[in-house]
Structure formats: C-alpha cells, structure tokens
Amino acid sequence: MSSDASPSPRAEVRRRATGRQGLGPRQLAVALPAALRKLDPRELRRSPVMFVVEVGAAACTVLTVVSPGVFAVSITAWLWATVVFATLAESVAESRGKAQAASLRASQAQTTARKVTAPQDILEYTGGLAALPTTEVPSASLHVGDVVVVAAGETIPGDGDVIEGIASVDESAITGESAPVIRESGGDRSAVTGGTTVLSDRVVVRITAPAGHTFVDRMIALVEGSERRKTPNEVALNVLLTSLTIIFLLAVATLQPFAVYSGARQSLLVLVALLVCLIPTTIGALLSAIGIAGMDRLVQRNVLAMSGRAVEAAGDVDVLLLDKTGTITLGNRQAAELIPVEGVEPAILADAAQLSSMADETPEGRSILVLVKERHGLRARESGELVGAELVAFTARTRMSGLNLPAGGQGPRSGGPDGGSQDGVRRIRKGAAAAVTSWVHSTGGHAGPDTARIVDAISASGGTPLVVAEQLGSAPARVLGVVHLKDVVKQGLRERFAELRAMGIRTVMVTGDNAVTARAIALEAGVDDVLAEATPEDKLALIRREQAGGRLVAMAGDGTNDAPALAQADVGVAMNTGTTAAKEAGNMVDLDSNPTKLIEIVQIGKQLLITRGALTTFSIANDVAKYFAILPAMFVLVFPQLEVLNVMGLSSPRSAILSAVVFNALIIIALIPLSLRGVRYRPAAAAVMLRRNLLLYGAGGLIAPFVGIKAIDLLVSLLPGIS
C-alpha cells in the first residue's frame, strides 16, 4: 500500500478555507430557518435539557399573555432565545456540510450506462467482456452484479470494481484532487466510484452497489447529518444531563412549599427562570453541535467517517498500526544492487532475477526489471518467448514470485557443464529471505552462510533483501543471490511519533520485511514496536491481542487482504483508491488515500473528546454564579440576611433574575464558535490535559458568569419595571 504523503492541493485549500470560517451574520441567517424548524417538540425531545427549557418557555408564554408586564415579557423572550440559540448551534454545524453535499449531489447527474448483455455465467467467468454486445440503460436501473463498459470521456455510472482494462480516472468531483488516478483490474486499485469520469482508455466495471446506496449517497447523508446517530459517549452524557435536570426539577418543585411557609410565595415565572438557570443548558445546547463539528473537521481533511462512534474511538485510541510502505516510508522501494553468492556469476543472478520478476506487478518487481536492463543489458522478455513457462504471482501469503520454465525454454542455466539441466523444470523463486530460504530447505537444499551474511548486511543498513533461488528438475534448490531494495523514511515522522507517545499512544509498524530490516526502519522512524514478516492473519491476530488487553486499535489499509483487520480494528481507515472490500470493512474512508493521515484522525478524535469535556466542565461550573444571583433575589425580602450573598451587588431581585436568564442564553451563542472550531489541541498526557482544562474551563466557568451577569445587570436595571 503506497500513497503520496501530502494531501491534494485543492483539498488543502478547502480545509484551510473552511477552517477560517467564522460565525458571521450571513452564516447565522442561513442556519436560522432550520433552527426554527427544530423547535418542533418532536425534534427537541431528543435533547431532554432543551425540551424542559422549551416547555418552561411555553408555560411562561401563557402566563405572560394572561398577566403581561415588562419583567414577564423579558423573561419569556429570553427563555425562547435560549431554545433558539441551542437549535441554531446544531443548524450552524450542519450547514457547514451543505456545500460539500451540494457538490457531491451534482456528481450524481443521471447518466446512460452501456450494459453488457450476456448470461450471468459468461459475465462471471469469461474474459473479453468489452467485446460483447451492450445496450444503453439509465444508470439508476443498474443492479449489483451488472457489467458495464466505460470508455474515455464517459462517466462511470455506479460504484464498482474494474474487472478488465486499465484507465486514468478523474475523481475531482469526489476528492477535490484534480490530478487523475489510475484504476486497473486485478489489484488493490480496482474500485471506482459512480460520478467519476474516465479520461483515457477503456475499462469494464462490475457494479457493486445499487442506485441510492452508493458511496456518494452515503457521503451526502453523513455530511448533512441526516444519518448521524448519538455516540455511546453522547448517550452517556445525555443520561447524566437528564439526571441533573430531574434532580433540579425536583428541587425547584419542592422549593415552593418552603417559600409559601416562609411567606415568600414565588411566581411560576421565577421558578421556571430558576430551573432553566440551574440545569446544564450550555452543554445541553452545544452537545449535538460538538459531535457534528467533529465529523465536519474530518470532512475538511477529505476523510469520511461512517459514524460518530468511529471519531470518538479515534480519540481514545491506545495503539496505532501503521504499514511501513507508503505510511512510514515513501513507498517507492527501488532495486539498488544485485549481490550474487559465492560461486554464482552475476549474469546468472541477473537472468534469474528478471525471470522471477515477470509475474511481480509490484513497484519493487518492476524496479528489478529496470535494474537488470540498465546494469546487465538484459531486455525484458515477453511471456510468449518462454515456451510453456508458468508464472508464479506474488501474494501476501507466500511472499514470493517466480517462474517455472520447462526444459527447452530460453535463458542461461546455472547447472551442468553446458549451463543447464535438460531433463526437468527450472523453478525460479524470488521473495522475502525467510520465505525463499524455507522453500530451498523444503527441496532438500541449503541457503548457505553467504546468504545469511548478505541478508544481514542489507537489513542492518535499513534496506530490504529479496533472495533469489532456483531449482533444476528434482535436484535440491540453491540460492543464487540477493536483491538489495532501498526505501526512505518520510521526514517529520519521528517528531509526530514523539507527540503520539506523549499522548500515551503506542505506535506499531507492520511490514512484510524481515525482522532485522524492520527494526532498522523502526529505529530510524522512532516507532515503539514492530510486527515483521507479517501476513494478513498476523495483523488480525495482533489487533485481537491488543483489544483483549483492553486497548483500542486504529489502522489503515487498502487491499482486500486488509479487510478483516480493518473490520476488527476500532478505527479502520480505508483508502479511497483501495478495493470495495476494504472500504466496506473500514469505518472511515480517506478520499486522498494518504495513510499518514491516520495520525491526524487520532488528533481530531482527541480534540472532539477534549472539547466536549471542556464545555461540560464550563457549563456545570458557571451555574455557581447563577445561584448567587437568583436564590438571594427570591428570598431577600423575607430574609434580609441573604443580602450578604449578593456578592455581585445586583440592583434588584428582578434585575438579578433577568440578568441570570439573559447570561444563560448569551453564553450559548458565545460558545458556538468554540464548539465548531474545537478546543485547541496540544499533544500531552491525559493528566496534563485534564489539569489544564480544569484550570481554564473550570475556573473560567466560575469567573465568567460573575462578570457577565454584573455587566448585564447594569443595563437591565435601566429598564422600567425591572429595577
């Protein structure tokens, strides 16, 4: 799996532009109609805290109509403002995804598809599908399993996998990246998205998603928030807020009998004002907006989260699994040298390395063909030149590629006086040192000490050794030499891994390379642990072991062989260039296909949790000042001794109550930008972040209301009928 380390230019510009958006009058005006629609009690009951405020505001409205007055009208108006500000916060958060949803919807324009008309068994098992008859049908009528032909200049009619051909595809409508990408059959880059355009050549695509359930449809629903469900943390916090609301509701309800007994009966208007100021309205109003904004920050970075649960899990991740190639290194390993073992001619090794790479479609395999041509003058041979040859493709399980060449095939042989054995098959293998050595031993051969010395030297230098061996007929196989592959660690990763370590996150590099090579790269990159010579089963087993120990695991992948691990991981980030199986298995999709972005995803998840915790702390802390404003005001006429609690020196009981209600509403609108932007995140241990947030938002929540309520009281006291 490899990808560029940097995000697409258009995506980066869009991310910065969106990040600079403030909460201006225009944005508020656009979101206001949706906010007013959310006043429907059926909508608002999802937030118990704000539902109680709305019921209180409705009751006060009735009382105000029956007995109007400046104080009653003011209290009622600001109670309704509190509810509107809460729904406005959610509407503003949702509106930030509307622009992207609109551009995605534009890519869904109805297109005509050229559907291959043939029996299903032919479509499943036959090649040359592009030459079969086709019929034009609307893209909306396509079903899973249908096969379509898409040529240059045509729009891909639906999500699917390329099963024949190779083409360059414009995916800018989805990713924002103007540079075309290659899509081809038979590899990890076979998935295509409906609405993208083929720029060159022709491909045959098998549809994998029905109309209305495509990747773009899911993106639109998620960025608009229509499919957003409350995460476990949100549900737990809602339960806490509901419990506090019930407690304060009972406290206010039982307060009236005591007030009557004391000769200070309170009006329902005052009791509602007291209840609204006591319950945690600030976090109750902003809770949904915080969750939506967290997902929106991922969208700004071209990452689509399939659920809010995945974003939260990213914030709690303990272990980060990172593929070496394309994530920690640049991913363009190149063959740098062919090193023969003692007694083998360089030409023999070069010939074997070339033949064994004919079935290797990886960048490393292609680089070997280039090196052999440049250094040894051997041109690449076509499969037709090797009569009866059987290509052995590289797989993640065997970690070898090669070729079986029957007697009479072309190419120099290394056995016998004439250079070859004429009575058997020549089997050539190239791959990971452990895999090839095991193959040699299985034939009765021995790798020899020279092989181990070369492999260890290459590995110790941070390179990757690929061993080349051959077997002639039924004779024992022997090692011919080693190919030296070089890779480069990306700049700045050591510092980023240090930041993750400071947050308590352990990084694990996963690679198919041997243990010595893996440790050398890991030491250079600064990762904490290594899983070397890893198969897909090893990766899945590692994730399960970590989870059994109570740790949350995040990983990135793009291939079908990554799908089980992506499904098992708590945060599975699939690359958009990957297979359909990988994208279905993961709970996030990176549209830029940049595996390094997994680190940013973890940071965004932590920022979401920190923001929610900080504003919850602030909300509960700022209730303290309201106690000092309202409770003395309610009973100071009966108990003058309570005047000592009027530490803010508020003008009158009515101005004190109204000032607290006004502050309670205005603080919501004041905190909307912070809930959308998120609390500034600095990599640090959990204890350090908790201490800093308690100091900043806990102490700030205590102090700000005293200042704010006093300032509002100075203005409110000027109103007639209030002082």
Regarding whether 91 and 68 lie in a shared domain, the answer is yes
266 and 200 both lie in a single domain = no
pLDDT the model gives residue 720: 81
For 141-151, the pLDDT digits (tens) are 888 889 999 99
Do the annotations mark residue 2 as ligand-binding? Answer: no
In a domain, 628, yes or no: yes
Kindly tell me if the per-residue pLDDT of 9 is higher than 50. no
Instruction: Using the predicted structure, report yes or no on whether residue 579 has a pLDDT greater than 90.
Output: no
Is 364 annotated in some ligand binding site? yes
Q: End of a domain among 591, 614, 643?
A: 591
145 found inside a domain: yes
Same domain, 39 and 157: no
Is pLDDT at 188 greater than 70 in this prediction?
A: no
∠ at Cα 323 (322, 329), nearest 5°?
105
Is residue 10 in some structural domain? Answer: no
Is 323 among the catalytic positions? yes
10 in a labelled binding site: no
Domain extent at residue 559: 316-328+490-591
288 labeled part of a ligand binding site: no
| 400 annotated ligand binder | yes
* pLDDT band of 18, cuts 50, 70, 90: very low
Average confidence (pLDDT) over 574-597? 80
- Please indicate, yes or no, whether residues 482 and 349 belong to a single structural domain of this protein: yes
Q: Which of 533, 566, 591 is the last residue of a domain?
A: 591
Give the side-chain half-sphere CA count within 13 A for 654.
17
- 316 a known binding residue? no
One domain for residues 449 and 563: no
This prediction's pTM: 0.67
Residue 217 annotated as lining a ligand binding site: no
Q: Rounded mean pLDDT of 439-447?
A: 90
Looking at the fold, whether 372 and 483 belong to one and the same domain comes out as: yes
Q: What is the pLDDT of residue 599?
A: 83
8 A C-beta contact, residue 359 and residue 402: yes
- From 615, 662, 704, 684, select the one nearest 289 (Cα to Cα): 615
* 705 and 650 share one domain: yes
- Per mean pLDDT, which range of 145-154, 314-323, 378-387, 514-523 is the poorest? 378-387
For range 84-94, the mean pLDDT? 88
Residue 535 resides in a domain: yes
The answer on pLDDT for 415 being more than 50 is: no
Strand partners, 57: none
Distance in angstroms (rounded) separating the CA atoms of residues 576 and 192:
9
Distance CA 236, CA 406 (A): 68
Say which CATH number the domain at 439 has: 3.40.1110.10
Q: Pick from 162, 185, 213: which residue ends a domain?
A: 213
Annotated binding residue at 360? yes
Mean pLDDT for the stretch of residues 14-24: 47
The residues near 320 (Cβ < 8 Å, ≥ 6 apart) are 500, 505, 506, 507, 508, 553, 554, 555, 598, 599, 602
Task: Report the pLDDT value the prediction gives residue 449, as an integer from 0 to 100.
Answer: 86
Assess whether 521 and 549 both reside in one domain: yes
Bridge partners, residue 506, by sequence: 319
Report pLDDT for 378: 84
Contact of 631 with 252, CB cutoff 8 Å: no
In this structure, are 347 and 460 located in the same domain?
Answer: yes
Here the contacts of 118-127 (C-beta below 8 Å, separation 24 or greater) are 118/147, 120/145, 123/147, 123/206, 127/164
- How high is the pLDDT of residue 126? 66
Domain presence at residue 264: yes
Lowest mean pLDDT of 368-382, 603-617, 650-664, 702-716, name the range: 368-382
Is 598 in contact with 555 (CB distance < 8 Å)?
Answer: yes
Q: Residue 73 has what pLDDT?
A: 93
- Report whether pLDDT(711) > 50: yes
pLDDT at 413: 45
Whether 99 has a pLDDT exceeding 70, the answer reads no
1 in a structural domain: no
Query: Distance between CA 49 and CA 662 in Å, rounded?
Result: 17
133: domain CATH number is 2.70.150.10
Q: Are residues 195 and 279 in the same domain?
A: no
What pLDDT sits at residue 51?
A: 93
Res. 421: pLDDT tops 60? no
Strands (DSSP E) contained in 111-196 are: 112-116, 134-138, 147-151, 160-170, 181-184, 191-192
- Number of domains into which the chain is organized: 4
Asked if 337 and 473 sit in the same domain, the reply is: yes
* Catalytic-labelled residue, pool 159, 161, 188, 323: 323
Q: Is the pLDDT confidence value at 332 over 70?
A: no
Query: Is 653 within a domain?
Result: yes
Q: Across all residues in the chain, what is the average pLDDT?
A: 82
**Distance from C-alpha of 646 to C-alpha of 496, rounded to nearest angstrom:** 51
Mean pLDDT calculated for residue range 18-42:
75
The amino acid occupying position 179 is A
Asked whether residue 562 falls in the same domain as residue 610, the answer is no
Percent of the chain surpassing pLDDT 70: 88
Residue 507 lies in a domain: yes
396 is in an annotated binding site: yes
Cα distance between residue 204 and residue 161, in whole Å: 8
